[in-house]
Structure 1
Amino acid sequence: MEIRLLDGVEIRSDQGEHKLKTRTQQCMLAALALSPRKPVSVGKLIDCLWSPDNPERKQARKPASTIQTYAKHIRGALTRAGGNSAWLDSRSRPGFYVLDIDPMLVDYHRFLILADAAQQARDLDRFEEAFALWRGAPLAGLGGDWADRRREDMIARHRTLKEHHLHALLDSGHADRVLQELHVLVEHHPTDEFLLLGVRALSALGRHIAVPAWRDRLTTLMRQIHGAEPSADTLAHVRRTIAMPRRLSPAAPRASNGLPAELPEFTGRQAVPDVVPGSPAVGVQGHTVIPVPAGPAAVSVENAVREHRQVTDRVLSEGFTGRAWVLAEIDAWLAGMSGGYVWVAGDAGVGKTALAAFLVRERGWVGHFAGLSRGATVRVGLQNLAGQLVRRWSLADIAPGAMVPEWAFTPEGFDVVLHAAAKRARAAGSPLVLVVDGADEAETDGQPWGLPFVLPDGVFVVGTYRTGHPPPRAGGDSAVVRLAADDPRNRLDVEAHLRAVLPPELAGEDVIAALSDRCQGVWVYLRYAVEELRNGVRNVRDLATLPPGLSRYYTDTVDRWSRSPAWDAGLLRLLGVVAVIGEPLDAADLALAADADETAVRRWCHGTLRPFLAVERAGPTARRFAVHHTSLREFLNGRPLDDLGAEEDWHWSETLGAAASTARHRIVDHHLGRFGGLDAGLPRLAADPDLLTAGSGYAVRHLAGHLLDAGRAEELCRLLAVEGRTGNLWFAAHEHADAVDDYLADIAALWTHLAHRTDEALAAGRSAPTLVDEARCALAVSSITSLTANIPADLVVALVKAGMWTPSRAVAHARRLHAPPARGLLLAALVPFLPDGLRPAAVAWALAAARDPVTHITGDVLTRIAPHLADVADAVSIASRIRHGGWRAAAQAAIARRLDGQPRRSLLRDALDSAMSVAGEHDRAEAVRRILPELPDDLVDDAVSAAASTAPPREAPRPPIGALLKRATADGGEPARLDELVALIPTGSDGDLAEVLAAAPGIADLDARAVLLTAVAARLPVGERPPVLTAALTAARTITATSDPADAEVSAAADRQTRAGVLAGYALPDQRTTAVGHGLPPPPARTLSEILAMDDPFRRARALASAAPGLADAEVEVALSAVEHLPEEARTRALTGLVPVLGSAAHLARAAAAAPSRDRGLLILVVARAAAVLPGPDLVALLRRTMRSVSRTTCLALLDRAAPRLAELAGPGFPDGIAAAIDDARRWWP
């Protein structure tokens, strides 16, 4: 049975349609079906059926009796359709009717449920299923004010979900489809959002020339239909798009001098040039912007950005009323400043988050909300803002390969990102505005979220904080806008909002005045009161009993609840749970956390607590709950909103605070108990790793945070150090669950906590034993970084094909690779084996990685992903920049399969020309042969002639496998011979394969062993592959030093000294490891001004290094700024000479940031100098930043250089503690 509200109102079953006799009966069915399982009063039904001035209402002498008659007809139709007449209930609550059915039986609700689920999952197939239900106009055939209003609401909801659908299509590369749908939609519903979607789609297709026509069409339609024009912000965005340089690829185009085309040209000589040829560094208003290559801990742009719709949709669910006066004040301050902070100070619950959400959603400003998961932390906040800035302003130099580097998530690094974005914004003629909500909730050290003390010109921050907290400091222009609850303008907004949201029967002026008076201008209080009225919890006659003010309202509410039997039966425990949970939970999980009856918890969530909870769908028939407003969360945690005055206030502060604290411990104990107990070593988790993600997987994301909040940091240290059969148990369980990023988040949370304790101890002049635990965190992160980079791409693909790794796990692994070529190649190799929902994103990530830098590997990546490309023009542009003719030809020929007609022929002609450009007869012939099957007949003749004119293929005798194995397993096996072995595997006999498997354990080069075993596994029957692949994975996962001889010496020396240093008295620094083989140049012979005037950056680098020992203090700053502008190769040489004369924490931090990402020796030199000249706290801060994005070998070397000073700061237990940490890391990640 189904109730249809779309394209008419009817009840249908397998037997056909079961009609109701009149339009008013259909209207009553619609009113009930739009609110299934919710009571609808007789008065509201009467208003729905007949408007007050409708003559039919006057003719119906007894409307309530008529409603009863209609109900009888509806029950009859339900019964005939196979349903139950009891579904339409009027007995359980006199004066109300309830249609007690599953919402999925109503086509409109089924549409909403499917579309909401599709939006959350970005699932295109589910979107299609949802929109297939939208058969026609909602409530077709029904007239009257109520039907018209609801029809408009339903159409608006459909339009909003269609916008989400189009965004998902566009993000998945279906720009053509988006344009097709928009051309139809805008004829009836031209909006700003559809205008911007069309601009995005046209830009994605490279059709920038069509943008002005699209803008003009939408502007005309909006004038004709709405009598309005696109907003100023929308039109400004379109103008920026039109003004953007035309290009096929999103990568920044390069001018003839190698510089990004967007950068200004400089002529003449400058003392410190803003741009140096060959370097991506840029000078911005005297500030050095140094794009550093993404390190191993880099995060993809899409992972860095936190989706803010979970906040904006929730707080703007009932619209945004008034606030014109606040917006005008903000705009006035922005117009009057060249850049700076505008803070909105408001009382608790007065609508600060709604204001911020409005600015982010409607004006398109970059935003961050403290209410996001872990959103109060500096790292999450800066990661979110940096990711949005990189995406908004195409900062490819900051985030090469669409990967945002770890340094960008620090206050110092974010300042660099902000200056780069500001430069792009100024070039576009647009202000750059960041919106940050909840500054009073952010971590307290320094500025909220580590925002700069002084903002660049043209950059503004609009932030909110609660009245009573001091406004954040600022070094430039700043202003404070007051949003006070008792402001008369706020009261007028409150009353306007009430008129908009109250149902007609409650919207009397006396009711509005009473609510406004009792709520005292606090919007969240208003929401609670309106919800109570809507749900029948409170009667209009009870409004006078509402207490004045939000704090008193909370107190009176919990006092009323405490007199109920439910209080001791679990309601108090449930309040403690919702006060502390890190994400919404369903009733079953809440009941477990509260140790309460699930039925009772479900009843409380849907009844008693419902006005106070935010709700999100957990599936078609389930919902999750969390506290709606921060003020209530604070109240339930025992932190009062006002000063504690009366004894009652003290009582509830202590009672609720204790309940919240107990809830944290109960949640922790519940999950640790599920895993078998921490003291016992988590035996159940060791036996069944799936326990980690059982249910909602809450422990994966939040157990570490609850341990810290409960004051059980030592237990978190123990949890992260539990040892299992195969190494670190907590890591192994996360890896099994494809949740390594969550494990790293646990490490980051602990490290932040430890850093606070360390800094507090050092500031107080005490020893800081937590330095040992910080070193453990650094070793764990660096070990996982090394582990990720060690596993060969072919092995990852083989693990997916064998079913030993899931596709999502393999893609997550690939995206953690820090080198763009390696990341792109693995993603491309995985694409054929990915499910449809994951493939488009993987193709986009592979393309982004292949774009920067363009190498011969780019050709391999493009060849592999060509069948799945969405943006062919972009791929053609990238392929044309590949220098190697053979790989360029292969990529062009593969991409040509996606084209037709003349474009295909033209690209194949280019491919043939590329192949013919290859040097060497044999290589040229091979390049031509590879593309031959793709060429049209008339080009084949040219290709064959070209290939025939070259020498025949080289013939080489096939070496015996046994001889190659003997050489490979000898001491110092020959790598070249191992390559020959791998090449022979595909054609080897079964005997050859058996011989290789028997000899493989004797190959000392573990990387080569892993590659060889992977090749052998591909030849074996499917059932025999897992043990061979497991052996390959074991070899690959063994962290070894680099194969480069020079680096190997450094690694070995650092390793020996680390062990000796921490255990036996700290060896002196080795000159080879500190200078990295860069001998100092001859003594200085030029002045600094002469050096800076040199054109050649490499000569300038050598001269700066030579001059460094004789520089005055003021000249050191100038020299360091000049060094930061140098290309990487030259920068290393210059810094090697300059670092030994740096004496401040700021200068050494800049040197570490400027060090090329893989120059271990230079980082060691910086840390060694810091250990010699910096105070303890500054040394520790520098070491933390330096160790965050390095391999384990580098991490060990850095710890070794700092070990003597760290031992002084940490106390007598440091040598034994650091030795144990090193042993653990090697044992867990060998």
Structure 2
Amino acid sequence: MSDEEYRALALVALAPHLPDVLPEALDCARGIWDEYDRADALVALAPHLPERLLPQALDCARGISDEEHRVNALVALAPHLPDVLPEALDCARGIWDEYDRADALVDLAPHLPDVLPEALDCARGLSDEEHRVNALVALAPHLPERLLPQALDCARGLSDEEHRARVLVALAPHLPDVLPKALDCARGLSDEEHRARALVALAPHLSDVLPEALDCARGLSDQWSRANALVALVPHLPDVLPEALDCARGLSHEYKRALALRALAPHLSDLLPEALDCARGLSHEYSRALALVALVPHLPDVLPEALDCARGLSDQWSRANALVALAPHLPERLLPQALDCAKGISHEYYRADALVTLVPHLPDVLPEALDCARGISHEYYRANALVALAPHLPDVLPEALDCARGISDQWSRARALKALAPHLPNVLLPQALDCPRAIGDESKRAEVLQELIKSLTPSSVDFDLWQQILDSLASLTRPNFLEALPELAPLIIELGGIEALRETVAAVDDVSRWWK
């Protein structure tokens, strides 16, 4: 992205505070050399432009020689200049690349319903089948009934069955009068899995198809595919629940069995005890834990067993993940056991992850969680745990900030500081603003500074802190500085009034002349 575009986007972002900057922002956009960047700047400006500036914006858009970029700019202006739509259409029609042309016509279709037949023809004519599929799927929600048969014919002509099924699924909700044809097309798919997917997608719109979709699902040779198809039919055919459960139970791959059971859990009521037996019978310990956790919202009495299962997992990653999944459901009486389990994870990263998840549910054991976090030797994981605790223990914020500042790896330090920024009180902001200076990678430094600036309020900034903010921002290159500048607008207005913001914009304008 060019300096000019950063400047234009900064001016656009300042416009809500200073609408009279819009003419300058538009001039800046018009002066961008790169046509892609110029079109992007116009797209960003379009919603904010007053009526008197729209003709200039239109001239700028018309001056973009690349037809694809010109269409993007014209389409952005179209809601404010309806008369420009025919011109945008002519421009779209002139795009040489067939896929880009189809894409432009699809973008115009919601504004120009009369262009839908042409957009559909363009989509149908795309030589690359995947591009054709993408265009048809994008068009599907906009097509009137009279065009749906053509779209369906196009779908039927796709050689790749997966592509054909994908378009059918996209068209299904919009095919009230041509559902029989869609059904014929779905029935004609030779691949059983694709046929089942298409029939299941059509079934809610054609109730008579439900038995056929069920037969197709039952006939799938791959048990995993059969289980998925049956599970998808359950909301429409509740009587299929026992069969879907049997299919899930019969999956030889235990993890897939657990996934199928988890998908069925919301629909199970009388069958919950059976599902529980099935979950308990899984030999793979992690799959068993996952299945039990999935049943917890429906069978709260399973919580102690699910927690015991999680605690017994030998793999530390699996144990931490199971605890993370269980944490929102645990009653207070089980939290100490969960905490013991988390503390017993020797791998520091996984232990921190489990602790962080448990913290919101452990009001009485926060000091213990804090001790545990402090005992983590790895600096980043320790900082991460302290940052997670900080919203619940505000007194730990100075320690969390010190820990974050001391992280040797710049990427990890930047992440920890960004996570801390929203929670820092005014008294810690000066220290926090000093931290990014030591981050050598400018993109990371800019991210941290922008996050810290977002947490500032006019009442929290005095002149000394303002000077420190400016000193910190001075370490950024122009694009990153301009990206951060709009966040400062409320502070500039508070400290110097609206005139100060105008002078800031004028300074940006002055400096921009030196860049050229």
Asked which structure has the greater CA Rg, the reply is 1
Query: Which structure features the higher share of helix residues?
Result: 2
Query: Which structure features the higher share of strand residues?
Result: 1
> Considering the TM-score relative to the shorter chain, is it more than 0.5?
no
In which range does the TM-score fall when normalised by the shorter chain? Answer: 0.3 to 0.5
Structure 2 length as normaliser, TM-score?
0.33
Structure 1 length as normaliser, TM-score?
0.17
